[in-house]
C-alpha cells in the first residue's frame, strides 16, 4: 500500500487526516515508543494505532497496558486489539505454595490457533513483525465484563439468587466447559479472572479473553485455572465478594455473622474473602456450597480437573433451576 493510500485510509477510518510525517512501524520491540497515530505494518496489513488498552486488574484499574494497542485495520476499518511481545513474571501464593507465573506470547499464539472458530474464546491470529516478535491480532469482543455485570445489579441478594442467578449459572457452566476443552488440548488459560469473561453484547455469550499467562505447578497441572474458576463462581454466587470489614459495617447483624466464622470459611485463593456464603445467605443450597468449599482454607480435597468440577456443577442444576 502506498503512503498516499495509507493516509487516505487513516482519514477515512479515523475521520482525522495524518498531520505531518506518517510514522510506519515494522519493529514492535520498543512498544513503549509506539504512539497513537502510528501505523503498524504487520505482514501485508496496516493498522492505525488508536491508543493503549487499560488494566482491569483490581488495584491497577485504568493503568495503560503499553504492550496492548487499540487499533483499526486499515483494510476494512474493523476494530482490533494488538498484543505485542512482552515478558514478565511474578510469584503467586496459594496457601503455603509459591507458584511461578509468567507471560508467554508463544503460548497465547498457540491457543489462538487451537481455539479458532470456538465462539467461547476470543478470536484472532498471529503474525511476526520484522524482528520476529510474536504479535497477536485480536478481534475485539464488544460487551460487558462479567465482574461489572454482576456488581451493577441493584436488586437484593435473594432476589438476584432466585431470579437472575439461574441464567448466570447456566452461562458459567458453558464457561467451565470451554476451559475443559482447553485442558483437553493440554493447554492452560493461565489468567482466569472475573474481568476476563466478556458477555458479548449481540449474543449474550460469555467469552474468555487473554490467555498470555501461564504457570508452573507440577503437582496440579490445572490447579491455578481451577482456583480461578472457583473465584468466578464465588463472585457469581455471592453477587460480589464479601469480607469481615463488609459485615462489620452492617452493625450488630453483621457482627453476629462474623462471630460464627472460622478460618475454614475463607477462600484459599484470596484469604480475606468469605467463601462459606451459606453463613451469609442461608437459602443457598448445600450442593452449591459443596462446590465452593473445595476452594476454602479448610478444604482437604481439591479439584484436579475441570471434568470433576463440571460433574459437581451439573449436580447443582436441580437446586438452581427449581
| Domain CATH number, residue 286 | 1.10.510.10
Report yes or no on 290 lying in a domain: yes
Indicate whether 216 and 294 sit together in one domain: yes
Cβ atoms of 99 and 216 closer than 8 Å: yes
Q: What is the dihedral of CA 168, 170, 175, 178, to 10 degrees?
A: -170
Indicate whether 154 and 49 sit together in one domain: no
Indicate whether 266 and 175 sit together in one domain: yes
Predicted pLDDT at 247 = 79
Report yes or no on 138 lying in a domain: no
Predicted pLDDT at 198 = 98
Indicate whether 201 and 310 sit together in one domain: yes
Q: How distant is the alpha carbon of residue 275 from its chain centre?
A: 20
Indicate whether 184 and 301 sit together in one domain: yes
Which of 55, 84, 113 is a domain's end point? 84
Which of 84, 113, 130 is a domain's end point? 84
* Helices 223-238 and 165-184, packing angle to 10 deg: 170
Predicted pLDDT at 95 = 80
Indicate whether 74 and 156 sit together in one domain: no
Report yes or no on 107 lying in a domain: no
Predicted pLDDT at 60 = 57
Mean pLDDT to the nearest integer, 219-248:
93
Structural domains in the chain (count): 2
Contacts 24+ apart (CB under 8 A), 34-42: 34/66, 34/69, 34/84, 39/6, 39/10, 39/74, 40/69, 40/71, 40/82, 42/82, 42/127, 42/129, 42/135, 42/137
Indicate whether 156 and 291 sit together in one domain: yes
* Helices 165-184 and 306-314, packing angle to 10 deg: 150
Predicted pLDDT at 235 = 98
Predicted pLDDT at 94 = 86
Indicate whether 61 and 183 sit together in one domain: no
Indicate whether 80 and 175 sit together in one domain: no
Report yes or no on 120 lying in a domain: no
Which H or E element spans position 138? strand 134-139
Segments forming the whole domain that contains residue 44: 3-84
Report yes or no on 300 lying in a domain: yes
Report yes or no on 118 lying in a domain: no
pLDDT band at 14 (very low <50, low <70, confident <90, very high): confident
pLDDT at 152 over 90: yes
Mean pLDDT to the nearest integer, 81-101:
92
Predicted confidence (pLDDT) per residue in 180-214, tens digit: 999 999 999 999 999 999 999 999 999 999 999 99
pLDDT band at 165 (very low <50, low <70, confident <90, very high): very high
Determine what percent of the chain is predicted with pLDDT higher than 90: 81
Indicate whether 220 and 303 sit together in one domain: yes
Indicate whether 154 and 287 sit together in one domain: yes
Tell me how far apart the alpha carbons of residues 164 and 151 are, in angstroms, rounded to a whole number. Answer: 13
Q: How distant is the alpha carbon of residue 91 from its chain centre?
A: 19
Instruction: Strand 97-103: give its sheet, edge to edge.
Output: 89-94, 97-103, 213-216
Indicate whether 154 and 71 sit together in one domain: no
Predicted pLDDT at 219 = 85
Give me the residue label for grid cell 493461565.
Answer: 190
Mean pLDDT to the nearest integer, 103-129:
98
pLDDT at 59 over 60: no
Which of 58, 84, 110 is a domain's end point? 84
Query: Quick check: helix, strand or coil at residue 270?
Result: coil
Bridge partners (DSSP) of residue 82 are 69, 137
pLDDT at 256 over 80: no
pLDDT band at 58 (very low <50, low <70, confident <90, very high): low
Report yes or no on 103 lying in a domain: no
Q: What is the mean pLDDT of the chain?
A: 93
pLDDT band at 301 (very low <50, low <70, confident <90, very high): very high
What is this structure's pTM? Answer: 0.93
Report yes or no on 98 lying in a domain: no
Amino acid at each position: 500500500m502506498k503512503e498516499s493510500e495509507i493516509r487516505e485510509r487513516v482519514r477515512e477510518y479515523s475521520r482525522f487526516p495524518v498531520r505531518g510525517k506518517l510514522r510506519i512501524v515494522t519493529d514492535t520491540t520498543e512498544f513503549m515508543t509506539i504512539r497513537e497515530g502510528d501505523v503498524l505494518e504487520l505482514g501485508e496489513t496496516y493498522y492505525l494505532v488508536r491508543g493503549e488498552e487499560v488494566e482491569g486488574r483490581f488495584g491497577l484499574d485504568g493503568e495503560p497496558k503499553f504492550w496492548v494497542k487499540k487499533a483499526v485495520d486499515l483494510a476494512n476499518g474493523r476494530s482490533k486489539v494488538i498484543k505485542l511481545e512482552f515478558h514478565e513474571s511474578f510469584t503467586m501464593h496459594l496457601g503455603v505454595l509459591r507458584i511461578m507465573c509468567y507471560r508467554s506470547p508463544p503460548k497465547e499464539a498457540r491457543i489462538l490457533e487451537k481455539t479458532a472458530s470456538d465462539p467461547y474464546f476470543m478470536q484472532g491470529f498471529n503474525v511476526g513483525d520484522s524482528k520476529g516478535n510474536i504479535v497477536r491480532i485480536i478481534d475485539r469482543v464488544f460487551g460487558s465484563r462479567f465482574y461489572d455485570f454482576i456488581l451493577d445489579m441493584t436488586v437484593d441478594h435473594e432476589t438476584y439468587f432466585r431470579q437472575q442467578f439461574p441464567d448466570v449459572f447456566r452461562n458459567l457452566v458453558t464457561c467451565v466447559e470451554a476451559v475443559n476443552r482447553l485442558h483437553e488440548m493440554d493447554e492452560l488459560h493461565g489468567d482466569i479472572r472475573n474481568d476476563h469473561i466478556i458477555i458479548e453484547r449481540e449474543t449474550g455469550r460469555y467469552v474468555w479473553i487473554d490467555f498470555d499467562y501461564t504457570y508452573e505447578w507440577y503437582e496440579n497441572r490445572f490447579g491455578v485455572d481451577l482456583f480461578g474458576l472457583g473465584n468466578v463462581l464465588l463472585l457469581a454466587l455471592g453477587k460480589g465478594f464479601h469480607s469481615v470489614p463488609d459485615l462489620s459495617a452492617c452493625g450488630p447483624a453483621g457482627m453476629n455473622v462474623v462471630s460464627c466464622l472460622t478460618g475454614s470459611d475463607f477462600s484459599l485463593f484470596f484469604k480475606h474473602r468469605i467463601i462459606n456464603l451459606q453463613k451469609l445467605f442461608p437459602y443457598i443450597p448445600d450442593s452449591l456450597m459443596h462446590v465452593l468449599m473445595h476452594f476454602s482454607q479448610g478444604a482437604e480435597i481439591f479439584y484436579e480437573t475441570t471434568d470433576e468440577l463440571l460433574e459437581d456443577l451439573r449436580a447443582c442444576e436441580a437446586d438452581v433451576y427449581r
